[in-house]
Structure 1
């Protein structure tokens, strides 16, 4: 069927109108890799984009592919909006993932390594080691590497060992007999996580300013020293990726933290989902590994280089070449805070908008610091999804508790891949006397909220910070997000009710200004889209602009299709996976979808509804995804100050719709085309914000 000539009466639930979410996520990684291929990007940043695309692919297999395999094994899959069965999706993933892996290694071998070499940054392979380098590396192997290795010969007394998720390993083919008369066949060498994967050669043996050697190359060169008296006929790198989804039946456990701790202990050895092996690995060795991991040929990916290519990113900080990196910038302090008055006093008089990373996250830290010491502050409540190991925010919350303030923190223990860090965080807070809760059973708490209660002139006043992003100082320098500080009484009361809901038990609450998942946000979005449909049908201007990380919720997509049919003009800025297909005649010809990939990770969620000249603009923690709208605790908050609302519109919507250097347009077939400036002036949304807001 030709989507571009589809009749008007087409059923909006037709599966061919929905792009599969897993395949859409895979397409995002091609756009990330394209940044590595882009010669306009500084060389070491291109290296990082290569590694990001590889790391993203790891997580894709650990989570998305693992879930599909579980669904097949359990027979529990219900077809999604796209109608594809898990087996069909896995087949398509296989084909596209092979293309991505091939492109990654072609870039590494044919483009990046030669370009780095021209700048004096070399990855020296064994066949190019000088005599001096080989001698130094042999000493390094004997003194730093070999003492921590435990090579294992495979025989009935030494069965195939447990292999840790994503760890570097060598399969070794041996000939001859060992000291006990055992005939050599196969052995395994596991590289402990304590060993660096890339070693920089010291100046006395290096022939370039920066000479690096892969750990795998050192192991392969000197592997015979681990098996004295035997002949090594071959050694081959491999790495296994395992299911990293943690499954805890929250209705059956008494302590979520303890249950998660138990699950985390086994995560590194969960069911395998992918095997990466050296391109040169013989068929017999490959089949042996496949058998031990219960995998098939469809799960094997041959690598034309290091199997752990994302580890290359470790050299970024070792190479002191500012000319090969993005220019440094200093986030500005929000203008309203420059006078130096206490933050709470300023927020009492006016709302403050923060646009990260262009404006400093330090304002949020300072807000909590001052609140922790202010004698008028009685209580502080905060949600923490991801914070980092050494967050100053946590230090100030601890200080507030020790200063006698009532401090409640909602820690989301199930934040994927941060579970262990969040358990440590929860323990630290509890030891300081902070009341810690883990949210709501069955729902991840993804909302970003901070509430400060202060006594002023005999009355209590609430101060609020709401955000589209996490309370994490490191990501606040590389993710784009909006934060709002306000003393608006209605918003303060709404946030107070939300914290009561999270820490206690009660019925669904009615909010004045905020929308909340899983109760009112999904319904509210559908109603606001329906309102634009009514405007269009009445001949009035009708417009929707929304920016988010991902879009896959079928109800919202169907409503957007209906709005397009009614004549509503819709622009969507979706960084990652998008299941909606724009440009289909009679269905979505009034919808345009673009993705912007650049220096910073686009993370803000902004929704704008034209409303016949009475525009409304919201920021939110939620993407338009099924999980965010229906299975998580999320907040969506309005920007009520007209000047700040205009800022959000200009900086996050109009600015990104004008981008013609880092934007990609989604087509009706699910493919993306990069936007080129043509005769227009080149415009980068991100760089324009750096120039406008940073120092």
Structure 2
């Protein structure tokens, strides 16, 4: 029988999360082109859900296994049926939302057209584009009963084509064309007509030119219907001991691409004979695996929809805020010796981390670098910095997790590349995934070697760091850094015991540690003292940890949860969870950080962690939670939690009926956590830029615009109107390190007529500049005791 109904089923809870994503697409308050991007995110999420979770449920149904692990009152078959029901309703909702978005686009003068709506001139443009860009990437395959049916790639969209004669409909052929959206953009922007903009799907470009694809056949009627297959993404890893783990992974990845079909989505208008032919040839006899839908599939491509909208159609860009303690061209390791530093992505720039790696790579006193890799960007600056470190003679240890789902091929590539360059590459620990986010730098100093460390909640991926809300601690504190070094010893020699006094490491003692933290709150509650915890993470579905929270709630501990994704607790139960409140925030950035706060009798303890409270994280992965010792950083994290709990714009209440009602709607004032926290960080790390500005100068206006676009607080000095003193000029020289000669605009007519070839002292020149400010180079920008002549404007970055 299934586990107790005091929990919400994992799969059903995840579908509720994806419905929150769809809410963003449906929300008219969200900028128009961001709404269509959320359609893409919803579709991409659903694809992965079918590849992984639905495939697992189908195996339960087929083999009758793992039923005892299901949460909620479901058998595997009942759960599979419920998933299909929920997905069907969500897909219907998606089509309606997309229709509404397209209508709103039309009201903004932006029109989607299909192959039947093109004007003559548009048709000429489309056909020319087709022949130049699309046709070379097409491989049409004729289908027949006698030929083997072609393999359909996972997550690719295809056009199933029926060719026939209008006068003789009984004579027909079938063909298949893969829509080449990896090599050609999925969307074609057509030439504007007046103030109107037009775009069309690549699918319809192909439909418009079908007669150009099959010219040798004597057909005059062409019909094309979209279909897409989703395959089981489970890896079946060979146990052949004669093969390396990388060889086994490479073989299993090839098998994954041929995985069992889990879902076949198709255009609901597809003729019955064509659909029957495809199902028979693909050996799909289970109608549950087919799902009728609209005319276009692979809506994940909407994540990359062309930027043809106006400024108001997109989120306001919030430029990353430079950390107040991390200046360009200054040693980050030196700063880490003095204090702990926390970076909050994407509110602050991931480039600080890249700068730290680059510094370590060239610092002659750094002897060793260690890092854990789970996911990295395609052209990874992190990996390039590591390669540079190897070439600079550093000992580099890289723990690459080959089983990072859907990043396996990338990680195999980097494993081989790093080994070729001379790194020590460790491909995980048998039976465990390495999911912790750690960097170790070992440096030779006066009193011996010293360790520096970075402990984070998110991947070392400069791409996702722009859209994932994560946190990373930079520290030279030996309590943390020396234990990070112990974790790397664990990677090298995994079967020895390692004592951790400060870091909390799974699967060894994370469960026990946080259960003890909860027990401490339970004791305080029973003594009548304040007892509380605030837990922020992506998912909580581990039965043991959920039961512990139920126990704490019953004892009177106030529990507030911020859970972005899967949530297994029942929060509306008066007996079980009357002291538990939970919200989920879905907004422009993906909430990804894990922050755990415990009241601890007034001496609050705060941790950041790479782990969610799921069985896989606590039992089967190397994860690290790290205590925060800095009071300044504690306050920044405390404020984050406070601001998120206050959200009533993007926070939904997590309750038993999964209705996703918005939080605190009775409050008239609007609070939006991500923007509010950005403003908080901006205030905490504010930098006032002082610009000596001539409004009539184009270069000066460019410099001012550069500052404004990056959100700096700006002090504008109009020196042409208000004048500039000799003392101010001396300050400019000191902070910019410019000579008097470099401050003079020698192209000015005044200079050529009155001062060229004159031999004046520095003091005399400063007087001339003060009396004739038009001769001063511009714009000059100062930040504290640093300054620069901002030509070009990005020179400003040197003083940030």
Instruction: Please indicate the TM-score interval, normalised by the length of the shorter structure.
Output: over 0.9
Question: Cα offset for 1:643?
Answer: 2.1
Separation of aligned partners in 1, 2:183 and 2:349: 36
Q: Residue 356 and residue 623 in structure 1: after superposition, are their counterparts in 2 closer, same or farther (change >3 A)?
A: same
> Is 2:391 aligned against 1:402?
yes
Separation of aligned partners in 2, 1:301 and 1:613: 55
Calculate the aligned-residue CA RMSD, in Å: 2.1
- The structure 2 residue matched to 1:590, chosen from 579, 592, 604, is 579
Q: Which moved more, 1:26-35 or 1:665-674?
A: 665-674
- The structure 2 residue matched to 1:121, chosen from 110, 114, 121, is 110
> Is 2:16 aligned against 1:27?
yes
Separation of aligned partners in 1, 2:355 and 2:537: 28
In the alignment, what sits opposite 1:312? Answer: 302
Separation of aligned partners in 1, 2:661 and 2:494: 49
In the alignment, what sits opposite 2:647? Answer: 659
Question: Cα offset for 1:47?
Answer: 1.0
If you compute each CA radius of gyration, which structure gives the higher value, 1 or 2?
2
- The structure 2 residue matched to 1:105, chosen from 86, 95, 99, is 95
Kindly indicate whether the alpha-carbon contact (under 8 Å) linking 1:19 and 1:670 is maintained by their aligned counterparts in 2. no
- The structure 1 residue matched to 2:175, chosen from 187, 207, 213, is 187
> Is 2:355 aligned against 1:366?
yes
Q: Residue 133 and residue 112 in structure 1: after superposition, are their counterparts in 2 closer, same or farther (change >3 A)?
A: same
Q: Which moved more, 1:387-396 or 1:213-222?
A: 213-222
Q: Post-superposition, which runs of at least 4 consecutive aligned residues in structure 1 deviate over 4 A?
A: 205-209, 249-253
- The structure 2 residue matched to 1:673, chosen from 655, 661, 681, is 661
Question: Cα offset for 1:314?
Answer: 2.4
In the alignment, what sits opposite 1:687? Answer: 675
> Is 2:431 aligned against 1:442?
yes
Q: Residue 676 and residue 319 in structure 1: after superposition, are their counterparts in 2 closer, same or farther (change >3 A)?
A: farther
SS at match of 1:417: coil
In the alignment, what sits opposite 2:697? Answer: none
> Is 2:528 aligned against 1:534?
no
Question: Cα offset for 1:136?
Answer: 2.5
Question: Cα offset for 1:223?
Answer: 2.0
Q: Residue 458 and residue 536 in structure 1: after superposition, are their counterparts in 2 closer, same or farther (change >3 A)?
A: closer
Q: Which moved more, 1:675-684 or 1:50-59?
A: 675-684
Separation of aligned partners in 2, 1:379 and 1:346: 19
In the alignment, what sits opposite 2:291? Answer: 301
Separation of aligned partners in 2, 1:321 and 1:126: 26
> Is 2:344 aligned against 1:355?
yes
In the alignment, what sits opposite 1:480? Answer: 469
Q: Residue 61 and residue 189 in structure 1: after superposition, are their counterparts in 2 closer, same or farther (change >3 A)?
A: same
In the alignment, what sits opposite 1:626? Answer: 615
Q: Residue 147 and residue 335 in structure 1: after superposition, are their counterparts in 2 closer, same or farther (change >3 A)?
A: closer
SS at match of 2:565: coil
Q: How does 1:542-561 map to 2 (within 5 A)?
A: 542-561=531-550
Q: Residue 249 and residue 642 in structure 1: after superposition, are their counterparts in 2 closer, same or farther (change >3 A)?
A: farther
For each residue in 1:363-398, what CA deviation from the matched residue of structure 2 results, as whole angstroms up to 9, or x when unmatched? 111111111111111100000111112222211111
In the alignment, what sits opposite 1:286? Answer: 275
> Is 2:588 aligned against 1:599?
yes
SS at match of 2:675: helix
In the alignment, what sits opposite 2:263? Answer: 274
Q: How does 1:442-481 map to 2 (within 5 A)?
A: 442-481=431-470
Q: Specify which structure has the bigger relative contact order, considering alpha-carbon pairs within 8 angstroms and separated by 6 or more residues.
A: 1
For each residue in 1:386-411, what CA deviation from the matched residue of structure 2 results, as whole angstroms up to 9, or x when unmatched? 11122222111111111111110101
Question: Cα offset for 1:537?
Answer: 1.4
> Is 2:130 aligned against 1:130?
no
In the alignment, what sits opposite 1:89? Answer: 79
For each residue in 1:158-187, what CA deviation from the matched residue of structure 2 results, as whole angstroms up to 9, or x when unmatched? 22111111212122223369xxxx963432
Q: Which moved more, 1:123-132 or 1:55-64?
A: 123-132
In the alignment, what sits opposite 2:480? Answer: 491
Separation of aligned partners in 2, 1:212 and 1:190: 21
Separation of aligned partners in 2, 1:507 and 1:595: 40
- The TM-score, its normalising length taken from structure 2, stands at 0.81
Q: How does 1:29-178 map to 2 (within 5 A)?
A: 29-80=18-69, 81-109=71-99, 111-175=100-164
- The structure 1 residue matched to 2:492, chosen from 503, 519, 528, is 503
Question: Cα offset for 1:590?
Answer: 0.8
SS at match of 1:678: coil
In the alignment, what sits opposite 2:312? Answer: 323
Separation of aligned partners in 1, 2:328 and 2:52: 48
Question: Cα offset for 1:416?
Answer: 1.1
Question: Cα offset for 1:207?
Answer: 6.2
- The TM-score, its normalising length taken from structure 1, stands at 0.93
Separation of aligned partners in 2, 1:195 and 1:472: 24
Question: Cα offset for 1:211?
Answer: 1.9
Question: Cα offset for 1:108?
Answer: 0.9
Q: Which moved more, 1:518-527 or 1:288-297?
A: 288-297
Separation of aligned partners in 1, 2:548 and 2:179: 52
Kindly indicate whether the alpha-carbon contact (under 8 Å) linking 2:535 and 2:596 is maintained by their aligned counterparts in 1. yes
Separation of aligned partners in 2, 1:207 and 1:76: 62
Kindly indicate whether the alpha-carbon contact (under 8 Å) linking 1:582 and 1:588 is maintained by their aligned counterparts in 2. yes
Please list every run of 5 or more consecutive structure 1 residues that lacks an aligned counterpart in the other structure: 1-12
Kindly indicate whether the alpha-carbon contact (under 8 Å) linking 1:532 and 1:611 is maintained by their aligned counterparts in 2. yes
For each residue in 1:514-552, what CA deviation from the matched residue of structure 2 results, as whole angstroms up to 9, or x when unmatched? 111111111111121122111111212111110000110
In the alignment, what sits opposite 1:221? Answer: 208
Kindly indicate whether the alpha-carbon contact (under 8 Å) linking 1:200 and 1:210 is maintained by their aligned counterparts in 2. no
Kindly indicate whether the alpha-carbon contact (under 8 Å) linking 2:429 and 2:494 is maintained by their aligned counterparts in 1. no
Question: Cα offset for 1:300?
Answer: 2.1
Q: Which moved more, 1:251-260 or 1:416-425?
A: 251-260
Separation of aligned partners in 1, 2:240 and 2:676: 49
Kindly indicate whether the alpha-carbon contact (under 8 Å) linking 2:162 and 2:174 is maintained by their aligned counterparts in 1. yes
For each residue in 1:61-87, what CA deviation from the matched residue of structure 2 results, as whole angstroms up to 9, or x when unmatched? 111111111233333223224352221
Separation of aligned partners in 2, 1:366 and 1:504: 30
SS at match of 2:671: coil
Please list every run of 5 or more consecutive structure 2 residues that lacks an aligned counterpart in the other structure: 683-710, 712-800
